Structure 1
Amino acid sequence: MVTWEEVELLSLSNGGMQNGVFYEVSRKGSGIPLINVGDLYQSAPITYERLELFDANDDEIKRFSVNDGDLFFTRSSVVASGIAHCNYYRKTTEKKPVVFDSHVIRFKTDTTKVVPMYLYLQCISPKARKFFVANAKTATMTTIDQDILGKCLIDLPPLPEQRAIAAALSDMDGYIAALEQLIAKKRAVKQGAMQELLTGKRRLPGFSGEWVEKKLGDLFDITSSKRVFQSEWRPSGVPFYRAREIAVLSEKGSVDNELFISYEMYEQYTREYGSIQSDDVLITGVGTLGKVYVVKEGDRFYFKDGNIIWLKSKHLINSNFLRQLYFTEAIISQVFGTSGGSTVGTYTIKNANETIVPYPPLDEQTAIAEILSDMDAEIDALTAKLNKLRNIKQGMMSELLSGRIRLTEQEAAPEAVAATKSAELPKQETATETAHKGGHNQQFDDAVMIAGIVNALYSDKYPLGRKKVQKCLYLLRRHQDESTAAFKKKAAGPYADEVRYKGGEPIAQSAHYIATTTVKDKGTTFARGSNISQALGYIKSWGKQGDIQWVTDKLKFKKVDELELLATVDMAICDLEEAGTAVSVAAIKHLIATNEEWKAKLKKQTFSDANIARAIRELQTLLQGGN
């Protein structure tokens, strides 16, 4: 076979590189589609359907009109890792020309030498990314010159092999997209079935008995486990599960666990206090509330008291029917509506005893549970195939883009063939038809939500600082029931360096969703960027307007010190709950006092006993149990 070449990126261009049209806010909203920085962070390829409009004049259209297969790179980034982020344009059925703005670099691809998708994949490879980051200029902003971009070395096989590689990976993207759509459809069907079958709106053939309502306390003996102290945890022995592990068990049916108790303790506790039995139900009472695991025959583990509610089966209700009920709004509203108590975000034994559930005849419960469980099993099997396909694709990219596996234009990657057979997918759209329809990552999500926060909080009269934005983002994530793992215990309270330096904030700045001004000794302030309307469009299309309205309603008029108090107390509460420690003012103060970054807070009036107590009460209402 023909040997691959290693060539400079610029040699694959027909017309070189250029920056785009100068962006003016007053000209957006009408005209022709415009590619800007934010579009580069969406799924590849870029297509005109998702672009905003810009009123370009005839001269700008002539100079900056985009060609099918052109590549685009970010010119600048707040952090080095964001420089030269790449995407490419694929022409579909649009009649209008498309232009691009001055904050991105357009690379005119010579399609007689290189397949655009293949070149894009090379430009996002670890080899290219290492080159771009190493050769960028770093000052206040990280920038990269067109000359530097052009010197990046590209591994180039003959055109037929490029097409074969692009086709194999494109087909794999198509299979993945088709399977994602199929799973989404199956989940929607299951949701509809739940709404009908679990409410009695639709009865299964052969069942006509009356539905009633009962309290869980009448159907189970409800308790918890014997306390196990952290000092008694072991690196091996009998698995010991906290709420987080039960939540994973509920979702996946298995869990990788690092905590154990000794066999001797397990035998003693189960002998004195009982052991889990088949059809018992375990429900998470802290963290992610209301996750249900039905104990299976042969299960052997112990679990954390207080964190997990133990429903001992009396065989008066089908346990799998009950598990399905905990996915319904009727039960979810009871879980979160009763989770105030003496702590934030808890579902207690008392709450569980009082939880009211619909109760059809037992044989109908069993039939409903079997139907819905079969649906779950089908979705789980499809999800496993999806994960397999994604792993196969990653392996294909590594092998095909390095030349370790060679293809001809007539060949298909054997991995792709095997994967499609194992997935048994229906024929659906290829990747080039579906990839442009969506897809975004956590960093881009953060960029958009930061823009939404800035839009909600910004005022010409009062400066909006980074500290307030960070606290609002933390509380918003808690409200959204999303991970706050990026936020660490810093002097200013929960603070996410990775959001500031590596992800959401620099992307929002590069995309001009936000504008920042830094003044020595006064810090950085935020304002609306020239392109913030695009971020607000994403918020609308993602259905997140309610979350931003929550920020406006709950956080806009709070002072920075008050937000620091709320965020700090909330993070402390999460730590206490995870450790199985009762939440109180004294416990929160002790946690703050024993943390080097936080202990100075207790010298401030903001963190007085009365204010901490008030924060505990306010968080109950503010977050409504979201974790």
Structure 2
Amino acid sequence: MTQPWPVSTVGEQFEVHLGKMLDSARNVGFPKPYVGNRAVQWGWIDLSAVGVAPLTQSDIRRFRLRNGDLLVCEGGEIGRGAIWRDQLSECYYQKALHRMRPKNGYDVRLMLALLEYWSTGGVFPNYVTQTSIAHLPRDKFIEMPLPLPSAAEQARIGEVIQDVNDLIHALRRMIAKKQAIRQGLRQQLLTGRTRLPGYSGSWREVSLGRYVSYVNTVALSRAQLDGESPVRYVHYGDIHARDSPMLDAAREALPRASSTLLRNAGRLKVGDLVFADVSEDPDGVGKSVEVTSVPDVGVVPGLHTIAARFEKAVLADGFKAYLQFVPSFRETLHRLVVGTKVLATTRSLISSITLTLPNVDEQRAIASVLTDADREIAVLRVRLAKARDVKQGMMQELLAGRTRLPGTGSTA
């Protein structure tokens, strides 16, 4: 028969202390590296966000991190935590963080998993103090109930969840590496700095306005869209939210709209390039998707979009998706977009751009290389999503005590 775990509190099992208050006008001492809220991500420390601040000898004794300390965000994303593993030979922590140090050997890997479990389960709001910014004060944090499995069971749960965390972090690093490689490929291939084998002909200037026509769009609000009508609808928000520059409209889940609302809308075709025509973020200027398939019932360009149909003899299918990453295209858009808070792209602006481009055969070859890079990243993203789902399921079972691991003395 499974025995329930005893219950302790965070304060009974951990020393909990807030870090150093940083004040550039008052702080004196020796310049030392410190970890702040931004550097603490779920399960890892972002060393690029480590700062430097002057600390006194007293500060150095009081706020120096040790291997195995658990750092927890007191504000922002409350409860977000990471274990310090001597990523730097010497480091300190600032006031926006709680430093947790076990009193009686409580497994910090289990504690970190519980923090994430509490965060996703909406537990922290019961202990948060809300002023102008929500935060988790020490006096409330240390009173939080904490399950107390045996040391062996703590270690086993911590080990299992750490294995999944290690897989997740490895996948994240692989994605970041692949993204850096993809960015390099885009920079080299889309500018002609690097040419693919078999291609050496001169690139020529292409005035986009000479080879483009535009498809009529229809502006519908989200409230006018549904999930049952047959015709698919491309909304600018969905363009901004996606990573892939290709839109498989026949297979992907898209909002839909009643045909009675779409009388004046043009129908998209394979090879059409659909831009989001507004962005609040400069990085979103020129964001677009190339349509790679269309359903029999049709798909239409929607609110705040520009649907461009380029001549295929000038711009090859597959290559158009990568126009948004051509440096000269992006630089021209950024120079000409109108607006302050909201940056707007127009048809005339797109038509005014002149680019230096290879012939369509080389365009297809470049698109093939870049599409392969996109696919590699997409596959890794799927693996990452599955690993996160596995972790979520494990936490729900193991951290609630519903499933107990064998070999931990958890049954009687």
User: Is residue 234–residue 255 contact of structure 2 (8 Å, CA) maintained in 1?
Assistant: no
Helix, strand or coil for the counterpart of 1:320?
coil
CA distance in 2, matches of 1:30, 1:185: 36
Helix, strand or coil for the counterpart of 2:293?
coil
Corresponding position: 1:239 with 2:235: no
Report the Cα offset of residue 190 of structure 1. 1.9
| 1:5-16 aligned within 5 A | 5-9=5-9, 13=13
Residue number in structure 1 paired with 2:272: 280
Distance 1:312 1:342, change over 3 A: farther
Distance 1:204 1:405, change over 3 A: same
Residue number in structure 1 paired with 2:216: 225
Q: 1:187 aligns with which of 153, 176, 179?
A: 179
Distance 1:12 1:193, change over 3 A: same
Q: 1:387 aligns with which of 372, 385, 388?
A: 385
Distance 1:386 1:89, change over 3 A: closer
CA distance in 1, matches of 2:98, 2:243: 47
Question: TM-score scaled to structure 1, two decimals?
Answer: 0.52
CA distance in 2, matches of 1:385, 1:4: 34
Q: 1:155 aligns with which of 147, 154, 157?
A: 147
Corresponding position: 1:319 with 2:310: no
Report the Cα offset of residue 145 of structure 1. 6.1
Distance 1:204 1:30, change over 3 A: same
Helix, strand or coil for the counterpart of 1:117?
helix
Identity score, percent: 23
User: Is residue 123–residue 129 contact of structure 1 (8 Å, CA) maintained in 2?
Assistant: no
Residue number in structure 2 paired with 1:90: 84
Report the Cα offset of residue 344 of structure 1. 6.0
CA distance in 1, matches of 2:175, 2:222: 43
CA distance in 1, matches of 2:120, 2:209: 61
Corresponding position: 1:348 with 2:346: yes
Helix, strand or coil for the counterpart of 2:274?
strand
CA distance in 1, matches of 2:269, 2:159: 52
CA distance in 1, matches of 2:171, 2:271: 33
Deviation digits for residues 264-288 of structure 1 (CA, Å, limit 9, x no counterpart): 665x657xxx632222222232334
Q: CA RMSD in A?
A: 4.4
CA distance in 2, matches of 1:305, 1:47: 38
Residue identity opposite 1:292 in structure 2: S
Question: TM-score scaled to structure 2, two decimals?
Answer: 0.76
Residue identity opposite 1:7 in structure 2: V
User: Is residue 242–residue 307 contact of structure 1 (8 Å, CA) maintained in 2?
Assistant: yes
Deviation digits for residues 367-426 of structure 1 (CA, Å, limit 9, x no counterpart): 11111111111111112222222222222222221122222469xxxxxxxxxxxxxxxx
Helix, strand or coil for the counterpart of 2:343?
coil
Report the Cα offset of residue 11 of structure 1. 7.9
User: Is residue 73–residue 104 contact of structure 1 (8 Å, CA) maintained in 2?
Assistant: yes
Whose relative contact order is higher, 1 or 2, with alpha carbons under 8 Å and at least 6 apart?
2
Distance 1:246 1:142, change over 3 A: closer
Distance 1:29 1:290, change over 3 A: farther
Report the Cα offset of residue 358 of structure 1. 2.2
User: Is residue 242–residue 304 contact of structure 1 (8 Å, CA) maintained in 2?
Assistant: yes
Helix, strand or coil for the counterpart of 2:309?
strand
Distance 1:58 1:337, change over 3 A: closer
| 1:106-121 aligned within 5 A | 108-112=101-105, 114-121=106-113
Distance 1:170 1:344, change over 3 A: closer
Distance 1:204 1:55, change over 3 A: closer
Residue number in structure 1 paired with 2:168: 176
Deviation digits for residues 224-257 of structure 1 (CA, Å, limit 9, x no counterpart): 3065666994544212323223444673746654
Distance 1:193 1:335, change over 3 A: same
| 1:477-488 aligned within 5 A | none
Q: Which runs of 5+ in 2 are unaligned?
A: none
Residue number in structure 2 paired with 1:260: 257
User: Is residue 20–residue 106 contact of structure 1 (8 Å, CA) maintained in 2?
Assistant: yes
Helix, strand or coil for the counterpart of 1:207?
coil
Report the Cα offset of residue 129 of structure 1. 8.8
User: Is residue 239–residue 261 contact of structure 1 (8 Å, CA) maintained in 2?
Assistant: no
Corresponding position: 1:401 with 2:399: yes
CA distance in 1, matches of 2:380, 2:178: 10
Distance 1:95 1:373, change over 3 A: closer
Distance 1:178 1:350, change over 3 A: same
Distance 1:401 1:379, change over 3 A: same
Deviation digits for residues 420-463 of structure 1 (CA, Å, limit 9, x no counterpart): xxxxxxxxxxxxxxxxxxxxxxxxxxxxxxxxxxxxxxxxxxxx
User: Is residue 16–residue 99 contact of structure 2 (8 Å, CA) maintained in 1?
Assistant: yes
Helix, strand or coil for the counterpart of 1:326?
helix
Residue identity opposite 1:162 in structure 2: Q
| 1:126-525 aligned within 5 A | 126=118, 134=126, 144=137, 146=139, 149-220=141-212, 222-225=213-216, 227=218, 233=224, 235=226, 236-237=228-229, 238-248=231-241, 251=244, 253=247, 256-262=253-259, 266=262, 269=264, 275-287=267-279, 288-299=284-295, 300-304=298-302, 307-340=305-338, 345-408=343-406
User: Is residue 42–residue 80 contact of structure 2 (8 Å, CA) maintained in 1?
Assistant: no
Report the Cα offset of residue 332 of structure 1. 0.6
User: Is residue 183–residue 382 contact of structure 1 (8 Å, CA) maintained in 2?
Assistant: yes
Helix, strand or coil for the counterpart of 2:188?
helix
Helix, strand or coil for the counterpart of 1:282?
strand
CA distance in 1, matches of 2:87, 2:221: 62
CA distance in 1, matches of 2:309, 2:117: 51
User: Is residue 20–residue 100 contact of structure 1 (8 Å, CA) maintained in 2?
Assistant: yes
Flag the structure with higher strand content.
2
CA distance in 1, matches of 2:129, 2:336: 55
CA distance in 2, matches of 1:356, 1:377: 29
Distance 1:100 1:348, change over 3 A: closer
User: Is residue 70–residue 99 contact of structure 2 (8 Å, CA) maintained in 1?
Assistant: yes
Report the Cα offset of residue 18 of structure 1. 6.2
Distance 1:257 1:406, change over 3 A: same
